[in-house]
Amino acid sequence: PTGPARVVIDLDLPGPTISRHLYGHFAEHLGRCIYGGFWVGEDSPLPHTNGIRSDVVEALKVLRIPNLRWPGGCFADDYHWRDGIGPREQRPRMVNSHWGDVVEDNSFGTHEFMDLCELLGADPYVSGNVGSGTVREMSEWIEYLTRGDDSPMASLRRGNGRDEPWKVPYWGLGNEAWGCGGNLRGDAFADLARQYATYVRDHGDNRVYRIAAGANADDYAWTESLMKALGCLDNDIPPVFQAVSFHYYTMSGDWQNKGDATAFDTEEYYRTITQAYRVEEMLTRHSTVMDRRDPKKRIGLVLDEWGTWWNVEEGTNPGFLYQQNTLRDALVASLHFDAFHRHADRLVMANIAQTVNVLQAMILTDPASGALVLTPTYHVFEMNTGHHDASSLTAHVLDAGTHENVPLLSASASTTGDTALISLSNLDADESRSVVLDLRGRTVESHTARLLTAGSLQAHNSPTAPEAVRPVAFDGVTAHPRGLTVDLPAHSYLTVSLDLS
Ligand code: AHR
C-alpha cells in the first residue's frame, strides 16, 4: 500500500451494545482442559480451592470471563449428569469416546462446575444432552440446579451438600446435532429442540435462555430449519427457545491436515487470515436468514465454538487437541472480535474453544512441572475487556491495502460515557503500516495505547520464555490534524484508549 490507511470513527454515534458475553468461554471434558487444567483434585500439591487450580482461576479472573460453557462439545451428548454428583469415590465411570477413548471418572461434575463458575465470577452455560439423553434427564437437571423448595431434585441436591439453588441463565439444547450430537437432519432436530426446550423449566426466579444447537459453519439451511420451527415471532408469545448457535473453526489446511501451530510460512499465515475473515460472512448470512423470520431480533445468534484448530503437538495424544498458540492465533482472535463488534445487534454470545490446554487456549499448563503459561490469545482477551458491554462505534477502514484480496488492516471501536477503545490489527506479515485515526464528533482529551507483537508471527510463550509475546505500553500514537496517527508495526495488535469530552 502507498500512503497511510485511514480509520474513520464517529465518536458521537454509539451503536448496539457489545455484550460482554461475546467474550465467553468453553471448557469440555477433553484432554487436559478440565482434568489437569481446571481440576487438579483435592489431594494436589498445587494451590487449589476444593480441587480447582488457584493460579488458573486467578489468571482467568483478569479476563472477566462472562460465561463458561460446559461439559461439551461432543462430550455433552454422551454425558449423564447423575453420574457426576454425590461422593466422588462412588461415581460411576464412563468412556469418553470422542476424546482419546479414555475412561472418565466423573470426579468433576455439576457441583464442581458450579464452584468453578463461582470462583471465576462467570455465568454457567450448561450444555444439555439431546443426542443420547432423555427429556426427563434434562428436565431433572435444571430442577436439581435451580429449584429452591423440597422437590425431589432440590432435595437430592441438598443431600449432596448444596442448600441454596444456583442461578443457571444459559442452557444448550444439544451440540452439533448434525454430527457428533446425533447425526440428525435440520428439521428433525428442530422438532427435538422444541420438545427439550419445553421441559427446561424456569424454576423459582431463575430465567433460562435456551440455545438450540446450531449450524456447522456456513450451513444456512440449518439455521432456516430452526427459525422455521419457532413459528411466528411477530407477536407477544415467548419463543420456545431463545437463541440458535453455530460453530466455526479456523485452520490453514483441511480436516485431515489442519496445519501446524508453530511451523508455518507466510503464505500459510495469509491462508489462515483468509479463513478467519470468513466468520464475518457467516455472521452476516446467518443473521440474514434470521432477519427474514425475526425482523425484531427477538432470537439471538450464538457462536458457541470458535477459534483455531491445528494439528496436535508432536508426542501428545491426538484425541486431546493440545496445540501451541502464536502471535498468528492472537491476530485470528482480534479479527474475530472486530467482526463480533460489528454484529453486536444479533450476536449475543460467543465462546472460544477452549479455555485451558485445548485448541485456542488462554492458558497452557505443563503436565510435568505444573508451570502455567499465558498465550498470546489470552492477551487479546485481556486487552479487549474495555469493549465488554460498551456501545459499538462503526470504524470505517479506508485504504487498508491487500495481500491477494486479504485486507491488511482490521479495526473496531466502542465507547462508554467519556471513554472509547479502538482496536487495530496490522495483518501484514512483513511491513509496518501508517494509520490515521480520523476521529469525529467529540474531543479527544488524552490517549494511551498498548501493543501486542513480537519478532515473528511464530512467536509464542512457553515455560522457559513465558513473556515472549505480551502487551506493552506504546507511545507511538501521536496527534494529527484529523485525530491521531500511528505507525503500526508488522503483524501487531494495538488498542488505543481515549478520554473524551
Ligand atoms: O471443541 C472441540 C469439538 O469441536 C467439540 O467437542 C465439538 O462440538 C466440535 O466439533
Residue 239 Cβ < 6 Å to ligand 1: no
- Which pLDDT does position 234 carry in this prediction? 87
Q: How far is the CA of 353 from the centre of ligand 1 (A)?
A: 8
- Burial classification of residue 160, based on how many CB atoms lie within 10 Å of its CB (0-12 exposed, 13-18 middle, 19 or more buried): middle
Q: How far is the CA of 247 from the centre of ligand 1 (A)?
A: 9
Dump the DSSP string for 159-208. Answer: HTT--SPPP--EEEE-S-TTTTTT---HHHHHHHHHHHHHHS---TT---
Pocket test for ligand 1, best of 25, 74, 246 (most atoms within 8 A of CB): 74
Q: What fold does the segment set 5-10+393-500 form as a domain?
A: Immunoglobulin-like (2.60.40)
**Looking at the predicted structure, is the pLDDT value of residue 1 above 70?**
no
Question: Quick one: how many helices (H) and strands (E) in the chain?
Answer: 9, 27
| Mean of pLDDT values over 371-398 | 98
Q: How far is the CA of 28 from the centre of ligand 1 (A)?
A: 8
| Mean of pLDDT values over 438-463 | 98
Q: How far is the CA of 73 from the centre of ligand 1 (A)?
A: 5
Contact by Cβ (8 Å): 334, 493: yes
Residue type, 449: A
Q: How far is the CA of 176 from the centre of ligand 1 (A)?
A: 8
Per DSSP, 465 falls in state B
Paired residues of 6 in beta bridges? 398, 436
Residue type, 146: T
Q: How far is the CA of 197 from the centre of ligand 1 (A)?
A: 22
Of 238, 132, 220, give the one whose Cα is nearest residue 183.
132
- Which pLDDT does position 2 carry in this prediction? 66
Domain boundaries, the chain: 5-10+393-500, 20-387
Tens digit of each residue's pLDDT (9 = 90 or more) over 26-68? 999 999 999 999 999 999 999 999 999 999 999 999 999 999 9
20-387 belongs to which homologous superfamily? Answer: Glycosidases (3.20.20.80)
266-293 vs 327-342: helix crossing angle, rounded to 10: 20
Specify the residue for cell string 501487531: 492
Look at ligand 1, atom 6, and give the residue with the nearest C-alpha.
73
Q: Residue 251, Cα to own-chain centre: how many angstroms?
A: 16
268 is catalytic: no
Paired residues of 326 in beta bridges? 460
Residue 175 Cβ < 6 Å to ligand 1: yes
Q: Residue 184, Cα to own-chain centre: how many angstroms?
A: 25
Q: How far is the CA of 68 from the centre of ligand 1 (A)?
A: 15
Tens digit of each residue's pLDDT (9 = 90 or more) over 280-310? 999 999 999 999 999 999 999 999 999 999 9
Dump the DSSP string for 105-162. Answer: ---S-HHHHHHHHHHHT-EEEEEE--SSS-HHHHHHHHHHHH--SS-HHHHHHHHTT-
pTM for the predicted model, two decimal places: 0.97
5 three-state secondary structure: strand
Q: How far is the CA of 319 from the centre of ligand 1 (A)?
A: 11
Residue 73 Cβ < 6 Å to ligand 1: yes
Shared fold status for 5-10+393-500 and 20-387: no
Catalytic residue among 112, 176, 224, 382: 176
Q: How confident is the model at residue 334 (pLDDT cuts 50, 70, 90)?
A: very high
Contact by Cβ (8 Å): 19, 349: yes
**Looking at the predicted structure, is the pLDDT value of residue 488 above 70?**
yes
Catalytic residue among 104, 112, 143, 305: 305
Atom of ligand 1 nearest to the CA of 359: 1
Look at ligand 1, atom 9, and give the residue with the nearest C-alpha.
73
Dump the DSSP string for 39-96. Answer: B--TT-SS-EETTEEHHHHHHHHTTT--EEEES-SGGGGG--GGGGSS-GGGPPPEEE
176 is catalytic: yes
- Which pLDDT does position 3 carry in this prediction? 83
Give just the sign of the alpha carbon dihedral 80, 81, 82, 86.
positive
- Find out whether the peptide bond into 354 is cis, omega within 30 degrees of 0: yes
Pocket test for ligand 1, best of 28, 258, 320, 354 (most atoms within 8 A of CB): 28
Residue 131 Cβ < 6 Å to ligand 1: no
Q: How many CB atoms lie within 10 A of CB 85?
A: 22
| Mean of pLDDT values over 242-267 | 97
Tens digit of each residue's pLDDT (9 = 90 or more) over 346-375? 999 999 999 999 999 999 999 999 999 999
- Between CA 41 and CA 62 the distance in angstroms is 23
Look at ligand 1, atom 2, and give the residue with the nearest C-alpha.
73
| Mean of pLDDT values over 337-349 | 98
Q: What mean pLDDT, rounded, does the chain reach?
A: 97
Residue 382 Cβ < 6 Å to ligand 1: no
Residue 304 Cβ < 6 Å to ligand 1: no
Residue 72 Cβ < 6 Å to ligand 1: yes
Pocket test for ligand 1, best of 178, 183, 247 (most atoms within 8 A of CB): 247
